[in-house]
Amino acid sequence: MTALHRMGVAELGRALASKEVSSVEVTKHLLARVADHEHLGAWLAVDAEHALAQANAADARRAAGETGPLLGVPLAHKDIFVTRELPTTAGSKMLANYRSPFDATVVTKLAAAGTVTLGKLNCDEFAMGSSNENSAWRAVRNPWDTTRVPGGSSGGSATAVAARLVPAATGTDTGGSIRQPASFSGVTGIKPTYGVCSRYGMIAFASSLDQAGPFARSAEDCALLLGAMSGFDERDSTSAERAPQDFHAAMLTPRDGATASQPLKGLRIGLPREFFPAALAADVNDAVRTALATLEQLGASLVDVSLPRTELSIPVYYIIAPAEASSNLSRFDGVRFGHRAKQYADLLDMYKKTRAEGFGPEVKRRIMIGTYVLSHGYYDAYYLQAQKLRRMIADDFQRCFSRCDVIAGPVAPTVAWKLGDKGDDPVASYLADIFTLPASLAGLPGMSLPAGFGEGGMPVGLQLIGNYFGEGTLLHAAHAFQQATDWHVRAPAGF
C-alpha cells in the first residue's frame, strides 16, 4: 500500500472504505509528521486529542455502514476560519489565544462530511500578503526550497499539503491567496465563484472579494472537498442561493464529442495577450506554454482574447480591498475581545495603543490606505472610480467568454522568491498579483494546477479561469490535464 502521507483525498477515501486502513491510523501517522516538520512554520495550533476523537468517531460511522468520500479523511484549516475547539488568530497578535464560541460554516460542513481536523494553519496577518511573511508568529517556508516563500496569504495551507503533512487544507482567496501559493508550492487549489462557499465565520479582510476554497494534490481531490464546502447559507448575506453541487460528478462528465484520447475536444481556451507580457519570466512562460500544448493535444483549441484592463486591476484592487479592510478591522479595538493595551489614559488612548500593539506593519499600511480613500474629498476620486473600473474588468471577461469557455495563463510572473526579497518594497509584492487579481475583482472561479518547474527547480502553476459557476468546467479540464501529466504527484525532496 502507498505510504499513508502520500495518499491524496480520493485515494485515502477509497482505502478507508475498503478497510485497508483506519482513520485513527492515518491521523496518528500524520500527527507524527506534523511534529517532525515544525521548521516549516506551517502550523499555528495542533490538537491531537480532538483529532483522534474525530477519527474514532469517523471509524465508528464507517463501522455502522455509513459511507462518504471524505469520511475519516484528515485535513487542516487556515487560521482565518473560526473554530470552537482550536484557537483562531488570523495570524495576528490582535487575536492571540482567541477562542470562538462557534465554528465557521466551512468548518461545520466539512466536519459533517466526516473530515478530521488536525489543526490550524499559518497565514499572513488577516490574510494580507503574498508571501506568508506577514504572519505575526513566524514566516512559512516553501518545502521545495526552505529559503523561499510558499506564497500567501494561505501559505501555511499550501506548505502543509505540498510537504505531505496533510492531504488537504482550506484556504481563502481575496486577490489570489489560494491560486498563488498553490502555484508556488506545487499543489492544486481552486477559488470558486464568489458566494459558492459561505463566508460565515471567516474573519473578513475585504468582504466583496473574500472566498473560501480547498488545497489538495489533484483536481479530483479539490472537487470532493468543494462539493462538501459549498451550498447556500442563510447566515451569510453574500451566499449564492444555490444547492450544494456534486463537483466530482461534473468533473467526470464527458464533453459532447469527447473521446478517450481527446477528452477536451470542443473546449475553447482563451489566451489573454495581457497575460503573456514581455516581463513574464522565461521559465514561467515556457512551463505554461508547454501545458497549453498538452491541453491542445487533449482536444482543446486555443483562442486569442484580450483583457485590456489587466494592469488596472492592481490599483483597483489596492483601493477597494484596503477600503473594505479599514471598515472590517475597526471592530478590533480592545473593547470586547482580542488584545487590549495594558496601560492607557482614556478610551481613545486605549484604542490607539491597542491597535498600534496588535496590528503588524502590513495591516496598518492597508488600514491607512483604506481610510484615506474613503475619507471626505477622496471617496469620489479613488473609491468610486475603482468600483467603476471593477465593473469594466468584469465586462471584459464576459466579452472573452463569448469566444471561449475557459481562460488560461500564468498564476504569477515568477516562481517563488527568496524569503525577505520583497520585504522592503511592498509594491513589488503587490505587482506579483497581476494575473490573479482580475478574476477576483470579477468574482469568477479560478484555479491553479501544477504545470512544471522553473528557476531553481521551483514549481510553476497554470491558471484556469471560468465563467460564473463554471467550476465543473474548470475541474474537468484540470482533471484531464492531470490524467495526462504527473506534475501534481511530484513531491519536494525528502517529503
Give me the active site residues, please. 78, 153, 177
- Provide the CA 6 distance to its chain's centre, in angstroms: 21
How far, in Å, CA of 191 to CA of 187, rounded?
13
Q: Which candidate, 217, 248, 242, places its Cα nearest to that of 230?
A: 242
Contact 405, 269 (CB under 8 A): yes
Strand runs (DSSP E) across 132-259, as ranges?
A: 168-173, 188-191, 211-216
Do 400 and 439 contact (CB within 8 A), yes or no?
A: no
Cα gap 302→267, rounded to integer Å? 9
b/e code 146-156 from CB counts within 10 Å (16+ = b): eebbbbbbbbb
CA distance 191 to 177: 9
Q: Which three cell numbers stand for residue 440?
A: 477576483
What b/e sequence results for 220-242 when a residue is b if at least 16 CB atoms lie within 10 Å of its CB, and e otherwise?
Answer: bbbbbbbbbbbbebeebeebbee
Give CA–CA dist 467/400, Å, rounded.
10
Question: Using CA atoms, how far apart are residues 71 and 379, in angstroms rounded to an integer?
Answer: 49
Q: Which of 299, 352, 350 is nearest to 477 (CA)?
A: 299
Phi, psi of 270 (to 5 degrees): -85, 135
Does the CA dihedral 227-210-142-76 come out positive or negative?
negative
> Do 217 and 158 touch, CB atoms closer than 8 A?
no
Q: Distance from first CA to last CA of the chain, Å, rounded?
A: 17
